[in-house]
Amino acid sequence: MNNTIMYKGYIGSVEFSEEDCIFFGKVLGIRSLISYEGENAKELLDDFHGAVDDYLDICKSEETLNNSAAAKINI
């Protein structure tokens, strides 16, 4: 069994909680903690894809803010 999944170049872990009867994981190799879960493989993949897409949207928004004229300081 493969314990990782990949989407848009991001790798995610795959674990199973027997106690909660749910699959869960987190995106690996980034500073932010991005987790996802699902009651079955399809739900896990859908939530993983959504989490990565949301993360990329946030990164794009922050990059836009950091590159705006208001974010630049003149000394």
Cβ–Cβ < 8 Å for 30, 56 = no
Beta carbons of 51 and 27 less than 8 angstroms apart:
yes
Domain extent listing, the chain: 4-68
| Whether the predicted pLDDT of 70 surpasses 70 | no
Q: 60-63: long-range contacts (C-beta < 8 A, 24 or more apart)?
A: none
Q: What pTM value is reported for the model? A: 0.81
Asked if 71 and 65 count as a contact pair (C-beta separation under 8 A), the reply is: yes
Q: pLDDT tens digits, residue range 31-50?
A: 999 999 999 999 999 999 99
